[in-house]
């Protein structure tokens, strides 16, 4: 199973976002931006296929006053990922769907933080 190919497919799917998407945020980055965060992968085999279920957490960050910008970014992400079949090299994607979404004010009192988790179901081609 290739966690790397799954991550590449998420980055490809998010490539048209209106804000930068990072794996590791550079020191020079300015808000707003998105970070593809932690993931989990579990086998979900059948008699005929080597299958997998993964979760991928997406973090959005904004310094905009109010929650509208963070929610707009989350909507963009959801439009690109929810109910989509991702292009995962060497695998067939069955589905990708949002499990939850939340936004909050960071302890600094300025930064808005959005968190979304997606479940991806796929199998080896």
At residue 63, the pLDDT reads 97
Instruction: Write down the CATH number for the domain with range 3-124.
Output: 3.30.2000.30
pLDDT tens digits along 64-73: 999 999 999 9
At residue 30, the pLDDT reads 97
pLDDT tens digits along 27-60: 999 999 999 989 999 999 888 888 999 999 999 9
Question: HSE (CB half, 13 Å, CA atoms) of 90?
Answer: 9
Q: Is 122 helix (H, G, I), strand (E, B) or coil?
A: strand
pLDDT bucket at 21, cuts 50 / 70 / 90 = very high
pTM exceeds 0.85, yes or no: yes
Measure the CA–CA gap between 3 and 9, rounded to whole angstroms.
10
CA angle 32, 35, 39 (to 5 degrees): 160
């Amino acid at each position: 199973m290739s966690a790397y190919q799954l991550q590449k497919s998420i980055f490809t799917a998010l490539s048209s976002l209106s804000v930068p998407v990072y794996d590791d945020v550079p020191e020079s980055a300015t808000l707003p931006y998105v970070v593809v965060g932690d993931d989990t992968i579990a086998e979900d085999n059948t008699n005929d296929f080597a299958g997998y279920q993964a979760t991928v957490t997406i973090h959005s960050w904004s310094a905009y006053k109010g929650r509208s910008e963070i929610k707009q970014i989350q909507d963009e992400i959801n439009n690109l990922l929810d109910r989509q079949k991702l292009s995962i090299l060497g695998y067939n994607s069955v589905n990708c769907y949002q499990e939850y979404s939340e936004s909050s004010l960071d302890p600094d009192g300025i930064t808005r933080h959005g968190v979304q988790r997606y479940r991806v179901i796929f199998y080896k081609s």
